[in-house]
Structure 1
Amino acid sequence: MSVRDPQLTLVGWAGSTPKLYPGQGENPVAFAQFRLGQTTRVLNRDTGELTDGPTSWYTVKVFRDLAQNVSESIRQGEPVVVHGRLRIEEWTNADQQVMRTPVVVADAVGTDLRWGTSRFVRTVRQSAPETGEEDTGVAEALALHAEQSDQQTEQDDQDAVDVARLPYAVSA
């Protein structure tokens, strides 16, 4: 990242559950991405009531250990705070036109504690094998992680809050 990339902090709602992409190739770097919605509240001077303004949507990308932590911690509809750098990604659409999309490459992501509580749990990760051989326990660890994630998702569903009733709620 360039030192000149604009830094910003966004406060909004996770519009999607982060998706984790494992790294590929000779030097794999895992990353995760999710959508963040930010709705401006506008005071209607005639009625004195706050109303929702337009919702701005951002793609948030995170890399390495942060990607793993974000994919295990953030769920759609949760309030989040994201700090990172604004980048413009170019891609080609089906009509062969070059498109540009703003992306926030996050250095830090967390839940917005104005709306609830959180409990920090330090992650302990094993380093990659030094022999260059593929770790045979990776498949077992991924299966265990998937099972734990499914159990956590079931628990999250039981503890779910009706996001539509929260202030600044956004729909994906």
Structure 2
Amino acid sequence: MHSTFKIFVPFIVAGLTACSGINDSWEVKGGGYLKYSINGGDEITQELERNDVEIPFIRNSHHYLLIKVPMERSERKDQMNIMVNEPKLGKNGIIASYTWIQIQATTRAPLVGNDNYATIDQKDDIKWTATLNLQFKDCRQGVCNDSLPPITFKGRLQYWIAEDDR
């Protein structure tokens, strides 16, 4: 009997260790990530915490989706706000007055053009996903320059609503 116990102890310990961080997942605590590229460059993955995304009527009375990336948590020192008013499944317009980006701690760049949108393909009480297609004024030289082509931002949002907020 004693030798049987020695055989099963490693399996029990391995099982408990594998489950130890299960309550720390995005699916439980909320949050997710935004994968994006700028001007077709390398893909950047930015983790999003629970409070970085405001889902309509989850812990608020808002009717908009707001995605915020704070500079202090971005390895590249990028910072952005992206807002969609009254989001629905499918293609949604972007609210230009609340949407901007700072690339590598440069000057804040506003949205430009008329072909800026978020395509939401999942929005329920557990998870929201969207594809983002945006263009911003080029402000990377410390001043916004209208003669330069706009910066193209393409991204993919995956965000899980915290269990406590469902």
- Measured against the shorter chain, the TM-score band is under 0.3
TM-score normalised over the length of structure 2: 0.27
